[in-house]
Amino acid sequence: MFLTVDDYRSVCDTYEFKQITENEETRRTAEAAALEQIASYLRGRYDIARAFAASGSERNPMLVQVAVNISLWLMVHRLPQNMGHERRECLYNDAVKWLRDVQASKAAADLPTPVAPDGSPDAYNPMRFSSMKPNRYDW
């Protein structure tokens, strides 16, 4: 998987992490949903499969942080009385705002772009330009 247990230490301590996750399956399900949500924002411009295949220090740190915050947001709803809901909601909203900014080219993300089989960059969004032949209006 793209995320590790150590990635959660930046936003919650061990006790809180155990309370939120409950078990491995709950965490994995939330992470899969979070990665799909991230991909839905970014797959049109970036090679998300390659970005999620990265491991260790090769991963984009902001992408890891966004995935952690969205995963925790998805898991916090099963706690009694939505404990910690306000703090997680703020982090979730920040994560989605960053995804929307990257999607709208307001923020630049260091993520891999798609590559065509022939090696040309940005296979999904090729820029094409041309003009019409000039019309002389001489009949």
* In a domain? residue 125: no
What is d(CA 47, CA 31) in angstroms, rounded to the nearest whole number? 19
* In a domain? residue 138: no
* In a domain? residue 54: yes
Q: How confident is the model at residue 95 (pLDDT cuts 50, 70, 90)?
A: confident
Residues 6-29: tens digit of each pLDDT: 888 888 888 888 878 878 888 899
Tally of domains in the chain:
1
User: By the 8 A CB rule, do 88 and 72 touch?
Assistant: yes
Burial class (CB in 10 A: 0-12, 13-18, 19+), 119: exposed
User: By the 8 A CB rule, do 99 and 42 touch?
Assistant: yes
* In a domain? residue 44: yes
pLDDT of residue 84: 65
The pTM (predicted TM-score) of the whole model is 0.76
What is d(CA 101, CA 96) in angstroms, rounded to the nearest whole number? 9
Residue 126 pLDDT greater than 60, yes or no:
no
* In a domain? residue 132: no
pLDDT of residue 128: 59
Q: Picking from 25-29, 45-49, 79-83, which range would have the lowest pLDDT averaged per residue?
A: 79-83
Q: What range does the domain containing 29 cover?
A: 5-103
What average pLDDT does range 49-58 have in this prediction?
Answer: 90
Q: How confident is the model at residue 66 (pLDDT cuts 50, 70, 90)?
A: very high
* In a domain? residue 70: yes
What is d(CA 42, CA 54) in angstroms, rounded to the nearest whole number? 16
